[in-house]
């Protein structure tokens, strides 16, 4: 009875992951999982966690709803991992309350804008091998980026070689608009597709007319080859 009473008295979500350390910081729960050789985000993070440090691990992906149960989360540190993929709904459930999100020093080349634009958190995205494109430009324009690290968001790859190695902010300040480049590319592709369909219709009409002309000529030749009415009368 005492054992069951103890279970009932312990609040749900108060346990600490075996690979982490849980402590109090300014009266709020802090879960410290730094440098623990983690390859994925622990499933048993306490629900009342306010500060969560997962930095310096080997995490490669942030799946959808990875932190959905952490409704009290305010600070999330995922820096110095090996993150390459972030799902669209990776931060669903914590977008409203999160104040800081550190994704610096990972392997992120691109990120769905939907994953970040819903956040109110201050973002750190520096020191990633970014591919400079429209989605990243929109994040830079609309998200709350940490001003101290924004200059370290550098183009690792880009549509034009001259942008490679330069800070994205510098490229944009020079008047480059990756979104308009994408729009022009889309317009050109649409024009080519429409032209191809139009050409196919023209070719079909020409072939149809030629085929009918050949049939007509054959029919005329056949009629000419028939004995005339006058010949039958004689």
Instruction: Please name the helix (run of DSSP H) or strand (run of DSSP E) that holds residue 216, with its range, or none.
Output: helix 178-225
Closest by CA to 180, choosing from 111, 142, 134, 130, is 134
Spans of the chain, pLDDT less than 50: 1-13, 182-189, 191, 229, 231-234
| pTM of the shown model | 0.72
pLDDT at 226: 62
pLDDT at 2: 44
Domains of the chain by start residue, with CATH? 21-176 (3.80.10.10)
Sign of CA dihedral 13, 21, 85, 133: positive
pLDDT at 201: 73
pLDDT at 220: 65
pLDDT at 209: 72
pLDDT at 192: 57
pLDDT at 95: 86
CA 97 to CA 84: how far, in whole Å?
25
């Amino acid at each position: 009875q005492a054992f069951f009473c103890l279970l009932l008295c312990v609040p749900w979500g108060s346990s600490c992951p075996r690979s982490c350390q849980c402590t109090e910081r300014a009266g709020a729960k802090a879960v410290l999982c730094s440098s623990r050789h983690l390859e994925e985000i622990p499933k048993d993070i306490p629900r009342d966690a306010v500060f969560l440090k997962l930095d310096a691990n080997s995490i490669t992906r942030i799946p959808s709803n990875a932190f959905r149960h952490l409704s009290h989360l305010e600070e999330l540190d995922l820096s110095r991992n090996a993150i390459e993929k972030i799902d669209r709904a990776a931060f669903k459930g914590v977008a409203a309350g999160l104040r800081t999100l550190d994704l610096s020093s990972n392997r992120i080349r691109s990120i769905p804008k939907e994953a970040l634009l819903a956040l109110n958190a201050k973002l750190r995205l520096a020191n990633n091998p970014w591919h400079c494109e429209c989605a990243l430009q929109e994040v830079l324009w609309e998200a709350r980026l940490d001003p101290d690290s924004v200059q370290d968001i550098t183009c690792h790859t880009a549509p034009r070689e001259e942008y490679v190695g330069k800070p994205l902010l510098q490229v944009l300040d020079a008047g480059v608009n990756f979104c308009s480049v994408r729009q022009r590319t889309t317009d050109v592709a649409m024009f080519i597709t429409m032209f191809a369909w139009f050409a196919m219709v023209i070719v079909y009409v020409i072939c149809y007319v030629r085929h009918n002309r050949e049939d007509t000529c054959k029919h005329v030749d056949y009629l000419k080859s028939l004995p005339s009415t006058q010949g039958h009368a004689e």
